[in-house]
Amino acid sequence: MNVHTRPKAGKATKSAKVAAKAAAPGGSEAIAPDCAGADFYAVDRGLQQLLALYLPPAELAHMEPHFKRLGVLAGGRLDELARIADRNGPVLHARDRAGRDEDWIEYHPAYREMERIAFGDFQFHAMSHRPGVLGLDAPLHPVAKYACQYLFVQGEFGIMCPISVTDTSIYLIRKYASPQLKDYLLPRMLSADPAVQWKGTQFMTEKAGGSDIGRVETVAKNEGGTWRLWGEKWFCSHADADVALILARPEGAPAGTKGLALFALPRRLEDGSRNSYRIVRLKDKLGTRSMASGEIRLEGAVAYPVGRLDQGLKQMMDQVNLSRLSHGVRAAAMMRRCVNEALAAARHRVAFGQPIIAHPLLRRQLMKLIVPTEQALSMAMCAAWVMGEADRGSAEAEACLRILTPLVKFRACRDNVAVATGAMEVRGGNGYIEEWVNPRLVRDAQIGLLWEGTSNINALDVITRAVGKSRAHKALEALLRRRLGETKGLPAPLMGRLDTALTRAVALAETVAAEPASEPQARRAASALYHAASAVLLAWEGTRDAADARRALFARFVLDHRLSPRDPLAAEDAAWEPDAIAAVLDGGPVPLARAARLLAG
Ligand SMILES: Cc1cc2nc3c(=O)[nH]c(=O)nc-3n(C[C@H](O)[C@H](O)[C@H](O)COP(=O)(O)OP(=O)(O)OC[C@H]3O[C@@H](n4cnc5c(N)ncnc54)[C@H](O)[C@@H]3O)c2cc1C
């Protein structure tokens, strides 16, 4: 059956009847397949369009074979390995076989194979920092790097934490460490040879505080020129990393965040012996089960100061912000996997005489999964592009990145939770069963709400700091206004609505930022800014390629459903939607003229 046309309720077409017959009771043909074996790059027109927009042509041409290979891996081997590693999580051993207190973590071979793909083959950890990765003679453009993360995560999410945190640790060492420390750490950290490589991580959170990091109790003592750490860290992902960037309070330093210093904590000392800290236990986690998160006790562990002792948190925030952006990308990736799964299920599964994708209410629910997925992709790719501009010295881009980072982390991670749940529901009861990928997607989505700052902490960062203190929203607004100016071919009323939404979202953010009593509205204001920004970007992206303006349709869905007042007791006037939904779900390109006609409806 043609899924693009809206069937009349209750009337099944001939091909739907054939499908319904195939789905006879007891026949496993009735069970909808998952995406195993899919090529996640080939099916992702949104990603392909944005890469063509944001990457220089030569770099895109060079990277395309790698994106294709990663897309095939993510839907194939990585997906298989991720399933196995999720079911066979890491195990902590307190001692080695000779009874020495040298704790070690045992990983399933599937996890080790994923490490080889990530750190050896694609070298995610090094792609921003040195030439030679994937045959390039320069570090990758951030858009290419985050596109790689986005494709990889559609297969496996858990190991992206060690990958990303190694990358971000290298960033901090390069930026702040002394020349001697750089010489010591960087050749190891940048290596792709597992026999040499040191992977990184980041330990901040303690029992007393995660959000309120000023409550850190770990003490750093300078003993004859050597710094030693005493205390406990309560949440330590990638617990057995070779070098951890860690916050501690030097003896005598003031209380609160001002007294925190940043240290590099090696797992092994220069003579090869183990440093004096132990992994006390591993967390029994809801999600990210392939990756080891633990608790560590520091018992006079040797650590090297990184940068200025009185700038510890400020420096660490560079790493936090890079991780936040990566989390936004990961949320976009997981949502895309959810959408792919939901479409695979909806196209195959038959109910009431026709594939469920033909039922109008289910079609609307599918759009509720697709629109936030495309919003997140637009926002994440824009942030990655802005990062590239900031790297080239643009102050406006730097300010844009400042606000886009917590904005994407906050909203995309929240949307991921709803999208993962919605995709599970589209698969029906099978979506709840661990043999299918949906339960893992639902479990993994939750962590985005917590690490690198909860939703509240990120929304407050957007409103009180990025808007209130840094005024970074001005740079974002300027960028979005330029994008609006470049958007041609869409109906004037839609353009007017986009303009108004942007103006009002900026005004709301400023009002909430200016008035301390408005703090409870920080999440609402940050959401409004995200939706307005993504609607503008979607409209702009949709008009860049006259042959396929599908993305412009998403802009109107965002305007209608996220940025317009609604009366819960009134029937909706959404006559334009069924045809627009058909245009989206049919998989074919939507020429700009057709998109404009639909949008004018
Ligand atoms: C699986 C996992 C792995 C992790 N890995 C790491 C790691 O490797 N390294 C690391 O350092 N940390 C790690 N974390 C810790 C994580 O970053 C923290 O859990 C998170 O920052 C929240 O801190 P908390 O748990 O202390 O909660 P709290 O800070 O106590 O927050 C509790 C609630 O209070 C709210 N809240 C706090 N302050 C405010 C405020 N001012 N206004 C409004 N609401 C507020 C929060 O939003 C939250 O809802 C990990 C956590 C998990 C679950």
Going by CA atoms, what residue is nearest to atom 4 of ligand 1? Answer: 235
Is 164 near ligand 1, meaning CB less than 6 Å away?
no
Q: Average of pLDDT values for 451-456?
A: 96
Alpha carbon nearest to ligand 1 atom 17, residue? 451
- What Å distances lie between residue 136 and 68, 131, 141, 522, CA to CA? 16, 6, 10, 42
Residue-level pLDDT at 573 = 84
Question: With 80 as the cut, is the pLDDT of residue 601 above it?
Answer: yes
pLDDT for 15: 47
Determine the pLDDT at residue 27: 81
446 lines ligand 1 (CB under 6 A): no
Amino acid at 380: A
Rounded mean pLDDT of the chain? 95
Nearest CA to ligand 1 atom 38: 211
Write out the H or E segment, with its range, that includes residue 555.
helix 550-562
**Quick one: which atom of ligand 1 is closest to the CA of 165?**
8
pLDDT (0 to 100) of residue 140: 97
Is residue 13 in contact with ligand 1, taking CB distance under 6 Å? Answer: no
**Mean pLDDT, rounded, for 367-375:** 98
∠ Cα 544 154 329 (to 5°): 55
Per-residue pLDDT tens digits for 322-341: 999 999 999 999 999 999 99
Is the pLDDT confidence value at 295 over 50?
Answer: yes
Alpha-carbon gap, residue 511 to 15, rounded angstroms: 56
The predicted structure's pLDDT at residue 1: 31
pLDDT category at 5 given cuts 50, 70, 90 is very low
Say if residues 537 and 481 touch (Cβ distance below 8 Å): no
Residue (of 363, 305, 382) closest to 574 by Cα position: 363
Ligand 1 close to Cβ of residue 428 (< 6 A):
no
Ligand 1: distance of its center to the CA of 91 in Å?
Answer: 24
Where residue 18 falls among pLDDT bands split at 50, 70, 90?
very low
Predicted pLDDT of residue 25:
56
Prediction pTM value? 0.95
Task: Give the pairing type, strands 219-223 and 104-106.
Answer: unpaired
According to the model, what pLDDT value does residue 572 have? 85
204 CB near ligand 1 (under 6 Å)? yes
How many CB atoms neighbour CB 361 within 10 A?
9
Could you report the per-residue pLDDT of 389-430, keeping only the tens digit for each? 999 999 999 999 999 999 999 999 999 999 999 999 999 999
pLDDT 10s digits, 59-73:
999 999 999 999 999
Question: What is the pLDDT, as a whole number, of residue 28?
Answer: 85
Over residues 487-542, the pLDDT tens digits come to: 999 999 999 999 999 999 999 999 999 999 999 999 999 999 999 999 999 999 99
Question: What atom in ligand 1 is closest to the CA of residue 205?
Answer: 11
**Nearest alpha carbon, ligand 1 atom 9:** 203
Q: How far does CA 441 lie from the centroid of its chain?
A: 13
Lowest mean pLDDT among 57-71, 167-181, 501-515, 581-595: 581-595
pLDDT, residue 574, reads 87
